Amino acid sequence: MNRETKRLLQRQGQLEADGSPSTRRQAPPPVATRRRQRTSVPQFVREVRDELRQVAWPNRSEMVNYTAVVVTTLVIMVSLIFVLNLGFGKAVLFLFHK
């Protein structure tokens, strides 16, 4: 345990000044008794609109590029799964064929 960790644990009350574990019982954090207010629907819509304005939306060429990557990956993965399924199916039928 380095000095920084030891100092942090001492500040949190988990270690005594000499480095031994603290025997003091820590009080649990206070529980909030007040209920949180619900956000109204118009306030929620305003906040969503404000957040969506901060999104970096892709332009058309980026979108075409991303779509091509996804479709290509999808075709490759479907083909791989099809070939493996076909191979394992043939292997199982060969093993258990009378």
With tokens 């064929």, the residue in question is: 97
Matching residue, tokens 């199916």? 89
Of 60 and 4, the structure prediction assigns the larger pLDDT to: 60
Is residue 87's pLDDT more than 80? Answer: yes
pLDDT top residue among 17 and 51: 51
Percentage above 70 pLDDT, the chain: 83
Which of 3-12, 25-34, 72-81, 85-94 is least confident? 25-34
Considering the chain, what is the average pLDDT of its residues?
A: 86
Give, in degrees to the nearest 5, the angle at Cα 15 between 18 and 27: 140
pTM: 0.48
Residue 15: which residues within 8 A CB-CB, separation 6 or more? 6, 9, 21, 22
Please report, as a single letter, which amino acid is at residue 49: R
Location of structure tokens 């000095």: 3
Query: Looking at the DSSP assignment, which residues form a beta bridge with residue 63?
Result: none
